[in-house]
Amino acid sequence: MFVRLADQHRQFVRDLVMNLKALAIVLEKRGFLASCYTCGGQMNGASFMVSLGNDHLIRFLVSDYGITWTEMRDDRELMKLEGAEAIAQLQDLANLVKYDQQSAQTTTLLAELT
C-alpha cells in the first residue's frame, strides 16, 4: 500500500510541475515576468515565480517535502499557504489568466464582426 501511495505522490508532483511550466509560458506570453525551474530531470520539484507588477511577487514551490504559495509585496510576505490551500490559490491564478484571455478573445472577435 505505501509503495503505491508513494508512486501516486510522485506522479502528482510531476503533473503539478508540468502544469506550472505551462502556466509560466502562458504568463510570459501575456507579458508577465514568470519562470518555472525544475529540480532534476525527473521533475520531482519546481520553483515557480511570477511578478504581477508594482513589486507584487508570487512564489510557488513544490517538492517531495511539500507545497507552498508565498505572496509578497514590497519585499514583505503577505500570505503563505501550504498544501491544498496553496494549490487552490494557484488555481485562482490560473483561472484569472484563463478568463482574462477568453475575455480578450471575445473582444477581438466582436471587433472583427463589426
pLDDT band at 101 (very low <50, low <70, confident <90, very high): low
pLDDT band at 114 (very low <50, low <70, confident <90, very high): very low
Grid-cell match 466582436, residue found: 110
CB 48 within 8 A of CB 20: yes
pLDDT tens digits, 55-74: 999 999 998 889 999 999 99
Q: What is the pLDDT of residue 107?
A: 44
Domain ranges of the chain: 2-113
Burial of 13 (0-12, 13-18, 19+ CB in 10 A): buried
